[in-house]
Structure 1
Amino acid sequence: MSGSNPFDPRLFTEDAISAETKGINDLIIDAMKELPEWWDIGVATFREQRARGEGAFPLAPKSPRAREIEIDGKGTKVKLRIIAPEGSPRGVYLHIHGGGWVLGGADQQDPMLERIADRAGLACVSVEYRLAPENPYPAGPDDCEAAAVWLAKNAKAEFGTDALVIGGESAGGHLSAVTLLRMRDRHGFTGFRGANLVFGAFDMSMTPSQRAFGDERLILRTIDIEKFGEAFLPPHIDRRDPDVSPLYARLHDMPPALFSIGTRDALIDDSLFMHARWIAAGNKAELAIYPGGAHGFIAFPGALAAAANERIDEFLKNAVA
């Protein structure tokens, strides 16, 4: 979908969007138009509705292959959900789920992690990090850091391999970048071999595309980004602190990264800007742009999601080769 020149202007035109993708976007907008706002009905009620598959996202069945363990975090226990391939894994994928730091859970994307386990040969370890607004920053990042520290020390004994990759979607992409920076700066660890950063949010002070997206309910609107940010970040926090907005960090000694983003995503600037800064810091990075892809598009059926997921699987597989 992205070709040799990811900045080909044709990728951003209306003509580049397939009829199938346009139809999927229309269905998403229709499914969300009557959906209540989580800040109106309460986050607990909204989480329950989402867990039942209400709203735009397809309900993800729970994997019978999954197992859960608990590790020590910073003053708390952190649950890890593990889905492994048959036989010996080729590596370990530390996965961090999305949901605006407010929604989602480690058990809500089992089919995706099964796919990665089987296609890339990775043991997938998804973090059940604490959610805002009950547990605002730095609780979530602290839990993800604890998971990364545990894997750096225990992956070989637990999975038979210490080939580590990291990644996530949306807020999970943000937390993956924050975790990489914390591991480098706090623990002197730069052993992750790849970063799968899928429509991540990297600037909590809001990029132009975040501000300009408007009110169209195509998964993520400007007001959603604002409300998620308010829930996650206490008012006194500097939104351009690198631990909050990794776009503003010194990005040296980062692993090769794949940035995946759709052109109908409010977070498109985040991936465009972060990809450029990643490379400018001397790291390897790929940018995959998908015409018409909405925020979260890889969760919906269709050729666009299939292409993106295939590229993600190949990236992760090659990262541990």
Structure 2
Amino acid sequence: MIDPHLFDPAAVSEEIRAQNADIVAKLAALPDPMSVPPSVVRERRAQGLGPFPLMPSSPRAEVIEIAGPAGPLPLRIIAPDNPRGVYFHIHGGGWTWGTAAEQDPWLDRLADRCGLAVVSVEYRLAPESPYPAGPDDCEAAALWVIREAESRFGTFRLFIGGESAGAHLSAVTLLRLRDKHGLTPFRGANLFAGCYDLNLTPSVRHWGPERLILNTNDIRVFADNFCGRMSDRTNPDVSPLYADLEGLPPALFSAGTKDMLLDDTLFMASRWAAAGNRAELALWPGGCHVFIRFDSALSEQALSRIDAFLEAL
């Protein structure tokens, strides 16, 4: 069972308490990001004016283009010498913001510590390109990784993962590969702070207006952007929480206890295990949404848990 002490306020370190308070104060002083066009927010994020600090670019990052469903599809690749595996990464940002270039230090870490070549897909964003554009791009990129891994990187050892919307799209991609192509090539999934029910889980609905990275209205707008005209949000291709999850790879589900998407992780990990798959659950006291974007002892613990999970597979 889940240890209730993880949710005890006393379990939250002073470092994380202070960090969360700083985040709330900073975002309260900024304009509501939902009051301006997504393009404006994307530009602000590129300047370091969003909720997350800028992360430096990797000097070894390479961008290639493959044939995508709607034209050229960029892939950002960070690879060590003689990779021992390939990690297919899908970035977050509410299906609306974010880029494959925003989290190079994470990808460098996977290359250096786990020996993985990391391929991050620059999928189309909503609301300009709503469902099924993003999932279609991720599916195409995953098929490229499966097809090219041995010839390009010399390995068949494949992993998949992402954060927030990227965790959602990772789950959707695994289901598409299984159901449309009869493929289950990934030996592990790293799913961090995902949103798996676009009808909104109770933790999202009950959160309210405080913006600790996100608030209830933010998630509602993101879901509307992604779904577009798709009315059935119980469709597993939209909300993978409702899918038949049988035959999926071992997965590490991670979330902070102060993440408004906490229920999504708790529910999805339970359904993953109930379908007969190996599921590991890592809950981090006081962590906000995708707290690993901020330097802290808690972030290092969470990232080390990810490293260990991937190394063991």
**Quick check: TM above 0.5?**
yes
Secondary structure of 2:63's match?
strand
Gaps of 5+ in 1: none
C-alpha displacement of 1:55: 2.7
**Match status 1:66 vs 2:61:** yes
Is the contact made by 1:263 and 1:290 (CA closer than 8 Å) also made in structure 2? yes
Q: Is the deviation greater in 34-43 or in 194-203?
A: 34-43
Is the contact made by 2:41 and 2:50 (CA closer than 8 Å) also made in structure 1? no
**Match status 1:225 vs 2:219:** yes
- Name the CA distance, whole Å, in 2 between partners of 1:184 and 1:306: 33
**Match status 1:79 vs 2:94:** no
From 25, 32, 39, the equivalent of 1:37 is 32
**Match status 1:287 vs 2:273:** no
Is the contact made by 2:66 and 2:73 (CA closer than 8 Å) also made in structure 1? yes
C-alpha displacement of 1:271: 0.5
C-alpha displacement of 1:244: 0.3
- Name the CA distance, whole Å, in 2 between partners of 1:237 and 1:128: 26
C-alpha displacement of 1:75: 3.0
Could you say which residue in structure 1 is the equivalent of 2:312?
Answer: 318
Could you say which residue in structure 1 is the equivalent of 2:199?
Answer: 205
C-alpha displacement of 1:56: 2.4
- Name the CA distance, whole Å, in 2 between partners of 1:45 and 1:247: 32
From 23, 39, 51, the equivalent of 1:56 is 51
Is the contact made by 2:34 and 2:218 (CA closer than 8 Å) also made in structure 1? no
**Match status 1:191 vs 2:177:** no
Q: Provide Cα deviations, 1:201-247, integer angstroms capped at 9, x if missing partner.
A: 00011111010111111001101000101111124431110000000
Gaps of 5+ in 2: none
- Name the CA distance, whole Å, in 1 between partners of 2:31 and 2:56: 24
Could you say which residue in structure 1 is the equivalent of 2:115?
Answer: 121
Could you say which residue in structure 1 is the equivalent of 2:128?
Answer: 134
Secondary structure of 1:264's match?
coil
Is the contact made by 2:203 and 2:261 (CA closer than 8 Å) also made in structure 1? yes
Could you say which residue in structure 1 is the equivalent of 2:169?
Answer: 175
Secondary structure of 2:285's match?
strand
Q: Is the deviation greater in 177-186 or in 40-49?
A: 40-49
From 3, 6, 12, the equivalent of 2:7 is 12
Which residue identity is paired with 1:27? D
Could you say which residue in structure 2 is the equivalent of 1:308?
Answer: 302
Is the contact made by 1:31 and 1:55 (CA closer than 8 Å) also made in structure 2? no
Could you say which residue in structure 2 is the equivalent of 1:264?
Answer: 258
Note the aligned Cα RMSD (angstroms).
0.9
C-alpha displacement of 1:38: 3.0
Q: Provide Cα deviations, 1:129-152, integer angstroms capped at 9, x if missing partner.
A: 000011001000000000111111
What TM-score do the two structures reach when normalised by structure 2?
0.98
What TM-score do the two structures reach when normalised by structure 1?
0.96
Q: Provide Cα deviations, 1:112-170, integer angstroms capped at 9, x if missing partner.
A: 11011101110010000000011001000000000111111111001111111000000
Q: How many residues align?
A: 313
- Name the CA distance, whole Å, in 2 between partners of 1:200 and 1:140: 15
From 131, 135, 141, the equivalent of 1:147 is 141
From 18, 21, 24, the equivalent of 1:23 is 18
Alignment of 1:211-250 (within 5 A): 211-250=205-244
- Name the CA distance, whole Å, in 2 between partners of 1:36 and 1:164: 41
- Name the CA distance, whole Å, in 2 between partners of 1:243 and 1:21: 35
Is the contact made by 1:98 and 1:170 (CA closer than 8 Å) also made in structure 2? yes
Is the contact made by 2:131 and 2:230 (CA closer than 8 Å) also made in structure 1? no
Which residue identity is paired with 1:172? G
- Name the CA distance, whole Å, in 2 between partners of 1:106 and 1:98: 9
